[in-house]
A and B are shown apart, each in its own frame.
Chain A
């Protein structure tokens, strides 16, 4: 293998693992936001459980890794060069970081596919993209996920309220706490079995592209291990900003509502992935929380936050695509261009991180009400207390 190719492959693997990490911390909220908000689990315990289950999940299956592009990319029509993959990953990472900064849950998978599609359009031409699949696998499911999850969660909440309304409410709260923990763990495990594999698929695709691995072969064990560790570490770090939005920003949640939301999320994720109509975990979990908010009498859904979230979902694919496309332009300048975009992405990531320090959200203030403004001073005071 030439030195230039080796550098690019090395960069792709490193950047893919960074994407995996951001995927983990961006999606911790999916499984654990409601459990943290209701106090069913302590924040640190919740992220530790989610991280561990993501790691276990990564080892359970490699089925998704074999079909990484999900039909969005015409792999027969174009050759996917490692540089395109790198540009796509950078688009996905930057979009993940931007949405994390503003605390909006958005699909890491859609960001990844968007970045890849943008990079491939610039790198190999529009013939490389199956636009029909973009419509049916990305845009339409984004809207339908909220309807399915919201309706399931709304129904579950109504049933729970009808059956338990005459019970001692303290017993109801404690009774549903156990159920909520179990269902949250199921969501975390299913996340590990799905999302870690996308990075495994990306790394495997790169190794196949440079002839370091046979085509159509499964990810190697070291790839499975590092991807599992990266997503688990990211999950453990906890995307507290997104957790706060989902747990406290959308609606007020108690343990029965948390149970209804988590059990509906787990049901919709499993039903959709096994009945051939894949839906984004992020969108399903957010839809479930909205559904339980609507199903609870006297509860209100913050439609401002919900609206911003839906816009973020719809924008994720094209936005990550634009970043991926722009980044891919630089890869045409060879290894120097490729190294430049990686350095530029690191700088952009650092700037986003610095901006996040102005209003830090962490395990200690994650359950503050959504209308409470956080700033660096209050965080220092909280840590000192």
Chain B
């Protein structure tokens, strides 16, 4: 019984940490993408726009990874 409870606690902690870190990372990337794009457009900075595109590309990569996880035929 104690082993079962430990398993559940470990499972919960893993999901909690993963979810908070990944959700935080997605929010950071997407928000930075929007902000850098606006700043780059207003100031005419190609570098900022390029970094913004990298942020959005990372978001797309996360979405693709989510699809990979969801579809068993891929793994």
**B30 partner, pick from A132, A259, A274, beta carbons under 8 A:** A259
**Interface size classification for chain B:** 20 to 34
Q: Which of A261-269, A296-304, A306-314 contacts B (4 or more CB under 8 A)?
A: A261-269
Contact A264 B19 (CB under 8 A): yes
Min CB distance B52 to A, Å, is 11
Considering only residues 135-161 of chain A, those with a C-beta below 8 Å from chain B are: 136, 140, 144, 147-149, 151-153, 155-157, 159-160
**B26 partner, pick from A132, A149, A267, beta carbons under 8 A:** A267
Chain B residues whose CB sits within 8 angstroms of the CB of A159 once the complex forms: 24, 27-28, 31
Decide yes or no: A155 and B24 within 8 Å by CB, A171-B34, A171-B38, A270-B66 being known contacts. Answer: yes
Contact B70 A270 (CB under 8 A): yes
Contact B70 A193 (CB under 8 A): yes
Contact with A along B1-32 (1 / 0, CB 8 A): 00010001001101110111011101110111
Decide yes or no: A149 and B38 within 8 Å by CB, A155-B27, A182-B63, A275-B11 being known contacts. Answer: no
Q: How far is the CA of A256 from the CA of B30 in the complex (A)?
A: 10
- The B interface, classified by DSSP as helix, strand, loop or mixed, is helix
Contact A175 B34 (CB under 8 A): yes
Contact B27 A263 (CB under 8 A): yes
Contact B27 A271 (CB under 8 A): no
Chain B residues whose CB sits within 8 angstroms of the CB of A294 once the complex forms: none
Min CB distance B37 to A, Å, is 8
Chain A residues whose CB sits within 8 angstroms of the CB of B12 once the complex forms: 144, 148, 277
**B4 partner, pick from A61, A132, A160, beta carbons under 8 A:** A132
Nearest B residue to A163 by beta-carbon distance? B31
Chain B residues whose CB sits within 8 angstroms of the CB of A349 once the complex forms: none
Interface size for A (C-beta < 8 A) is: 48
Q: How far is the CA of A149 from the CA of B20 in the complex (A)?
A: 8
Contact A267 B14 (CB under 8 A): no
Decide if A337 is an interface residue (CB 8 Å cutoff). no
Decide if B69 is an interface residue (CB 8 Å cutoff). yes
Which residues of A line the B interface, CB within 8 A? 57, 60-61, 63, 132, 136, 140, 144, 147-149, 151-153, 155-157, 159-160, 163-164, 167-168, 171-172, 175-176, 179, 182, 186, 189-190, 193, 259-260, 263-264, 266-268, 270-272, 274-277, 279
Which residues of B line the A interface, CB within 8 A? 4, 8, 11-12, 14-16, 18-20, 22-24, 26-28, 30-32, 34-35, 38, 59, 63, 66-67, 69-73
